[in-house]
Structure 1
Amino acid sequence: MSRTSDILLTALAPLVWGSTYVVTTELLPAGYPMTVAMLRALPAGLLLLLIVRQLPSGIWWGRSFLLGALNFSFFQTMLFISAYRLPGGVAATVGAIQPLIVILLARVFIGNPIRALAVIAGLTGMAGVALLVLTPRAALDPLGVAAGLAGAVSMAFGTVLSRHWQPPVSPLTYTAWQLTAGGILLVPLVYVMEPALPALTLNNWLGFIWLGLVGGALAYIVWFRGLSRLEASAVAPLGFLSPLMATILGWAILGQNLSTLQISGMAVVLISVWLSQMAQMRRAGTEAVATR
C-alpha cells in the first residue's frame, strides 16, 4: 500500500474513537472508569489471542505489559475519568496536547528531529479542537483536567515506544498482547477500588460490545498497523480527528447545534492534520536526497 493509503487507513482508528464520549455518556452506567477500561481491553484481547494463538516470548513479556499499561490500563482509566468528570469538549481539548508530546518523545527515544512545521501543525490542531468543542458552559473540573493530561502523556509514551519497539509479529498479534496485558493489570484494581456493576441493560451491553470489539480490538489493530509503517509523529496528529468525529456524532445523534466557530474548528483541525503529514513528507524527501 502507498503512504497515503496507510495514512487513510490509520485515520479510521481515531474516527472510531470519536464515538467514545457518546457511547460512554449515553449507553454505559456512570461511575465505573476502571471497570469500563478493563472490559474494553481484556475480553477483546483474549478473543484476539484465541485467533492468533501466539504468546509473547523473552523480552516481549515485559514490553507487552508496559505498553499494555501505557496504551490501555492507565490511558483508558484516565480517559474515562476525564469523560465522566468533564464535558466531552473539555476532555478532548486537554487530550489534544498528545501530538506535541509525541514530537518531543520521538526526538528523545527515536532521534527524530523536531520540525517547525510539525510543531505548528500540533498547535494548530489544539486551536482547532478548542474551537470545535469548547463552549461557554464548559466546566473545568481539576481532577478531570489532570486525568486528561495524564492520559495524553501515557498514550504519547505508548505511541512512541510502540513504534520504537518493532515486534517480530503482526499488528494483530501485537494488539492482542497489549490489550490482554492492559486488561489483566486492571483486574485487581477494579476488584479493590470499584463496586460491582449493576445489572446490565441492553444499552449497556451494546455500549460495551462497541467499545471492546470496534473501538478496542479493530481500531487498535489499525492503529498499531499504522505505527509499524509510519512515523509516530505522523500517526499521533491523526488523533485530532477523534474530537472532530465526536462533534459530528453529537450533532447527528444527540441533536447538538453546530456553531460557526465549531465549523471553523473542523476546518482548522483538517488543516492541522494536513500540515503534520506535509512535515513528514518533507522529512522523507530530505532524507532521500541526503542518501543519494
Structure 2
Amino acid sequence: MSREIMSDEDQSKIGLASLRTALTPMVWGTTYIVATEFLPAGRPMLAAVVRALPVGLAFVLVGRTLPTGHWWWRSAVLGTLNIGAFFALLFVAAFRLPGGVAATAGALQPIVAAAIASVVLGEPFTRRVVVAGMLGVAGVAMLVLGPEAALDQVGVAAALAGTVSMAVGVVLTKKWGRPVDLVTFTGWQLTAGGLVLLPVLLIFEGLPAEITTRNAAGFAWLAIVGTGLAYSNWFRGIQLLPVSVVSFLTLLSPLVATLIGWIALDEALTIVQTAGAVLVLVAVVTSQRRRRSS
C-alpha cells in the first residue's frame, strides 16, 4: 500500500470540497422518511422513475446539448450504473431484506470503490482506507441492524450488486471526466437511468390511479432536491476529490436517516446505535485525512 502526501493547501481544498459534497448523502438520508410519509405505498419503481426521468429531461432542455460521439454510450453506461441499475437493485434489496441488512451491504461501497480506483485510476489504496472501511461497515451495522435481521439470497445478491454498480459508476465518472457543463452532464445520466427504469415500472407496477397533493410534494422533494441538485453536487465532488475520499461520504446517508427517525418519528436510539453513529463519523473523518508534507 502506498502512502499519499499532500500539502496543507491541498488538504484545505479537499476539506472544503468534502464538506460541500457531504451535503448530497445527507440529503439522500431523507429518502426513507419522505418515501414512508409522503409517497404511495408499494410503488418503489414509480418513485425511482419520477426521481430520475423528469428532472433529467429538464436538465437536458436547459443545457440544450446532446451527447456526441462516444459520449452517447458513455452517458448510457454511467446513467445505468449510477442511476438505473443502482436504483432498481436498491429497491429489490429493500423489498427482500430488512433495511438494516441492505444498508450494511451498501456500507461496503466505499472500500469497494477505493479498491477499484486503485486499479483503474492508480489511486493509493492505503491502510487508512482499509481501516476506515472496516469502521464504516461496523458503524452502519450497529446503527441499523436489528434482531429481526434475516438473509435472503436474492436480496443479498441485489444489495451487493447495487454496491458494485455505484462503486464502478463513481470510478468511471472520475476516469472519463465531464465534457460539458454540470447541469447537462447530470441530465444525460438521469435521463439514461430513468429510461432504463421506465419499462421496469410499466411492466411490474404500472401507473397509479391517482396522485395526491401529499404524494406530489414528496415526489418534488426527491426529484428536485434529492436527485437533481444532489446528483449535480455529487458529480462535481467526484471530479474534485479522490474516489477514496468521496465514496466514504455515502456513510452519512444511513446516519442522517437514523437521526431523522429519532427526531421526527420519535424512534428509539439505543446505546449500540449511538456507538455505531460515532464509528461512522470516525470512519468518514479518517477517510478524509491525508498525510501532510513537511
TM-score by length of 1: 0.91
Contact 1:16/1:215, CA 8 A, preserved across alignment: yes
Does the residue aligned with 2:251 lie in a helix, a strand or coil? helix
Partner of 2:168: 157
Amino acid at match of 1:41: A
**1:247 maps onto 2:258 in alignment:** yes
2:78 paired residue number: 67
Separation in 2 of the partners of 1:172 and 1:263? Answer: 38
Deviation at 1:5, TM superposition (A): 1.3
Aligned-partner Cα distance in 1 for 2:38–2:155: 20
The 10-residue stretch of structure 1 (18-27 or 55-64) with the greater mean CA deviation from structure 2: 18-27
* 1:66-215 to 2 correspondences below 5 Å: 66-215=77-226
**In 2, distance between residues paired with 1:198 and 1:236?**
39
The answer to whether 1:236 aligns with 2:247 is yes
Structure 1 residue 135: deviation in Å?
A: 1.6
Counterparts in 2 of 1:265 and 1:175: CA distance versus 1, 3 Å: same
- Structure-2 residue corresponding to 1:30: 41
Post-superposition offset of 1:195: 2.5
Paired amino acid for 1:77: A
Higher mean alpha-carbon deviation, 213-222 vs 105-114, is at 105-114
Alignment match of 2:227 (pick from 204, 208, 216): 216
2:6 maps to what in 1?
none
The 1:215–1:195 alpha-carbon spacing in structure 2 relative to 1, beyond 3 Å, is: same
**What is the Cα deviation at residue 147 of structure 1?**
2.0
Unpaired runs of 5+ residues, structure 2, are 1-11
What code does the residue aligned with 2:240 have? R
Q: Give the aligned residue type for 2:89.
A: M
User: Structure 1: which 5+ runs fail to align?
Assistant: none
**Counterpart selection for 1:49 from 25, 50, 60:** 60
Distance verdict in 2 for CA 1:143–1:254, change over 3 Å: farther
In 1, Cα distance between equivalents of 2:169 and 2:74: 10
Matches of 1:201 and 1:86 in 2, distance apart? Answer: 29
Task: Judge conservation of contact 2:60–2:183 (CA < 8 Å) in 1.
Answer: no
Query: Aligned partners of 1:197, 1:88: CA distance in 2, in Å?
Result: 25
Letter in 2 for 1:261: V
- Once structures 1 and 2 are overlaid, which stretch shifts more, 85-94 or 107-116? 85-94
Letter matched to residue 185 of structure 1: V
Call closer, same or farther: CA 1:213–1:173 in 2, change over 3 Å: same
Q: Please say if 1:266 is aligned against 2:277.
A: yes
Could you say what the CA RMSD is over the residues aligned between the two structures, in angstroms?
1.7
SS of equivalent residue, structure 2 residue 123? coil
Structure 2 SS opposite 1:266: helix
Q: Match for 1:42: what amino acid?
A: L
Q: Is the 8 A contact 1:99 1:122 kept in 2?
A: yes
Question: Residue by residue, what CA displacement relative to the aligned partner does 1:145-164 show, whole Å, maximum 9, x if unpaired?
Answer: 32221111110110110011
The number of residue pairs the alignment matches comes to 283
Change in Cα spacing, 1:138 to 1:201, as seen in structure 2 (3 Å) is farther
Please state how far the C-alpha of 1:84 moved relative to its aligned partner. 3.5
Return the alpha-carbon distance in structure 2 between the equivalents of residues 198 and 102 of structure 1.
40
Distance in 2, Cα, partners of 1:202 & 1:275:
43
In structure 1, distance between residues paired with 2:281 and 2:182: 27
Q: Secondary structure at the match of 1:128?
A: helix
Letter in 2 for 1:198: A
Distance 1:132 1:148 in 2: 18
> For 1:51, what is the secondary structure of its paired residue?
helix
Q: How many angstroms apart in 2 are the aligned matches of 1:132 and 1:159?
A: 25
Identity value in percent: 50
Deviation at 1:228, TM superposition (A): 0.8
Per the alignment, do residues 165 and 178 of structure 1 end up closer, same or farther by CA in structure 2, a change over 3 Å counting? Answer: same
Shift in Å, 1:223: 0.4
* Cα contact 1:79–1:147 (8 A) shared by 2: yes
